[in-house]
Chain A
Amino acid sequence: MREITYVKAFTESLMQLMAEDDNIVVIGEDVAHYGGVFHAFDGLWKAYGEKRVIDTPISEMGFIGMGVGAAARGLRPVCDLMFFDFIGVALDQLYNQAAKLKYMFGGDVTVPLTLTTAGGAGLSAGPQHSQSLEAWLAHVPGLKVALPSSPYDVKGLMVAAVRDDNPTVVVLNKRMLGTKGPVPEEIYEIPLGQAGTVRSGRDVTVIAVGRMVAEAMTAAEELGKSGVEVEVIDVRTVQPLDSQTILDSVRRTNRALVVHEAVTFGGIGAEIASQIQEEAFDYLDAPVLRIGAPFSPVPFSPVLERAYIPDSNRIADGVRRLLERSGG
């Protein structure tokens, strides 16, 4: 299969989605003429014109809210929030409006809005351009949140998100934009709420979010050399969370480690660990281990940032600790 980059897979998903559905419009800052600051929207304006690809003022609350209204009136807007960190200036339109209209209006209004954004650390972008805030959004009933971990997933999850009738946030990982991987040329969907078992193993289950899937795979590779078989699960979406796939795996491996780039405290790992102990306590040979960022803003200095972001070494160490703890 041909290989394309993570960001190219994103662009291709929109190119194909817009061809199949005239109601899809792309709205955001610098998405039309300039093609987006990460080139994620390159070519769309040329292909679909300014009627369907709209540059906006720097008004995230305004244009996401406009997307909510347009969605309620039958369009299928894709709004782009340049950096995940900017969500604060627009949050009302997402969590009080997009997420709640269906429910609080008694089911009469549907909001098929997709919000695309770029999150994650590792580019020395500093405290306000590097965050992983998915747990905030996963906490809001009415929203769906996807964090693609590969070019293949970017396209499949984007297609599912845009076709979904619920407000859905797709968080790209900035550091992966140039990562290449196999991506089918035809349009395809990865269902929202279906985790992927990206590596099978019988000793420990590592549940990873976004770019941490790649780090977990590296750790699993390394551990495999010493005979430790790690199962790696890519959650793909933190809302809905595919608890079943996670629990089934943990019941087989009896050990679980959750890893994400967001700070550990109150992260999605806390929810996953809690669900495991509630539903699979008797299967566990060791407490569920969480690995995430320390409780601090994301630092700028490359040295500090490397120390901040979880990596394959920390994941491998965690797996070893779990095995030691349980006499594995």
Chain B
Amino acid sequence: MSNPAEQDATSGVEPEVLRDLHRRMVRIRLFEEEAGKLMEGGRMPGFLHLYVGQEAVAAGVMATLRPDDVITSTHRGHGHAVAKGADLRYMYAELFGKQTGYCKGRGGSMHINDLSIGMLGANGIVGGGIPHAVGAAFAAVYKGQDSVAVPFFGDGATNIGAFHESANLAAVLHLPVLFVCENNGYSEFTPQERHMLLKDVADRAASYGMPGEIVDGMDAVAVYLAAQRLVERARAGEGPALLEAKTYRFYDHQGVKGLRIPYRSQEEIDTWKERDAITSLEQRMVDAKLAAQDELEKVWSDTREEIAAAISFAEQSPDPDPAHLLDNVYTV
């Protein structure tokens, strides 16, 4: 968890950074909640893995990255894309399966990517994107660039071979990778204590000779500070590290209401919701007089407007033309 010095209101972080973290989190929250409504309303096809609750992780890490730093993401990837700076119009368009979407309607919710902002894609295979981040870091070093790569993955993914092979490879090749584990306590519907005997995923780092740190994933400032340190370390050529952010997803594994089979208690959910990362950051900013309530509210209302426009853009966009079904199967 964050050290005591980081637990005061703002930890000496510049107000501009706090506003940035807040804005990134609000954008994720509203993007996801609107997506949830669209799905529930039957207006959007496919699966939806909502990121709500975990916003502090994406926001905190992404605020430390440059556009040329590369991330890879997961099936629960909207938050990473939004925080990295993806265009919400193209994201919604992809969720609707439209030609204007990031994947031209060929990928859907689980495959948002935008190389121009260093988003090397969300991945529908658990652990699937982790080696790609190692490869991106390899390519950066090869070309003499000082960018870093950050694969995001969950606690469940740390049981899969791709994670272990990637961690060992990055370590032995001394690559600038920050492995970010978003530990939301559940591997789909299976609680952590039933899928690994470790309490802390960060302990796995020792197996690969890299530092492993734990941070409060409900505290964007704490995530920001920890990520900043480890990203700069990697950028300076000191090798990879593993950051475990303890967090929680407010919605189900998939969809808004999920399968309605209880596997976690309402008390547990409520306890985590009391620690909502956005509410707590807002409180701290107001308490420290770094933001007025109406300034914060304006972020919400501006974002709502942006999102309404993005959804409208997406819904009005053309469907892909079946005549072009085979486009991009191969590079010709």
Contacts and interface: CB of A to CB of B under 8 A. Distances in A.
Contact of B103 (A54, A89, A105, A110): A105
Contacts of A63: 131, 165, 169
A104 B330 contact: no
Interface residues of B, number: 46
Contacts of B125: 92, 96-97
Q: Helix, strand, loop or mixed for chain B's interface?
A: mixed
Interface stretch (A70-78, A296-304, A312-320): A70-78
Contact of B134 (A69, A102, A165): A69
A106 B135 contact: no
A62 B173 CA distance: 12
B330 A65 contact: no
Interface in B108-132: 111, 113-115, 120-121, 123-125, 128, 130-132
B131 A93 contact: yes
A67 interface: yes
Interface string A38-66: 00000000000001001011010111111
Contacts of A89: 161
A291 to B, nearest CB: 30
Given A61-B131, A65-B166, A92-B162, A107 B139 contact: no
B120 A72 contact: yes
A70 B113 contact: no
A61 B331 contact: no
B104 interface: yes
A290 B24 CA distance: 61
Interface residues on A, range: 35 or more
A121 interface: no
Contact of A70 (B142, B166, B330): B142
Nearest to B168: A57
Contact of A69 (B104, B138, B327, B328): B138
A127 interface: no
A73 B69 CA distance: 11
A65 B134 contact: yes
Contact of B329 (A64, A97, A141): A141
B332 to A, nearest CB: 9
A103 interface: yes
Interface in B164-209: 165-166, 168-169, 172-173
B168 A25 contact: no
Contacts of A109: 113, 115, 120-121
Contacts of A71: 135
Contact of A166 (B106, B173, B330): B330
A25 B165 contact: no
Interface string A79-103: 0000000000100110011000111
Given A59-B169, A92-B125, A166-B330, A106 B102 contact: yes
Contacts of A51: 142
A64 B140 CA distance: 17
Given A62-B166, A104-B111, A92 B135 contact: no
B331 A69 contact: no
Interface string B293-332: 0000000000000000000000000000000000111110
A69 B143 contact: no
Contacts of B169: 56-57, 59, 62-63, 66
A75 B143 CA distance: 9
A3 B101 CA distance: 53
Contacts of A278: none
Given A92-B162, A104-B107, A105-B103, A62 B168 contact: yes
Interface in A154-178: 165-166
A108 interface: yes
Contacts of A106: 101-107, 113, 328
Interface of A: 25, 51, 54, 56-57, 59, 61-75, 77, 89, 92-93, 96-97, 101-110, 112, 141-142, 144, 165-166
10 contacts: A59-B169, A62-B162, A65-B132, A65-B165, A66-B134, A69-B120, A73-B140, A75-B142, A107-B327, A109-B120
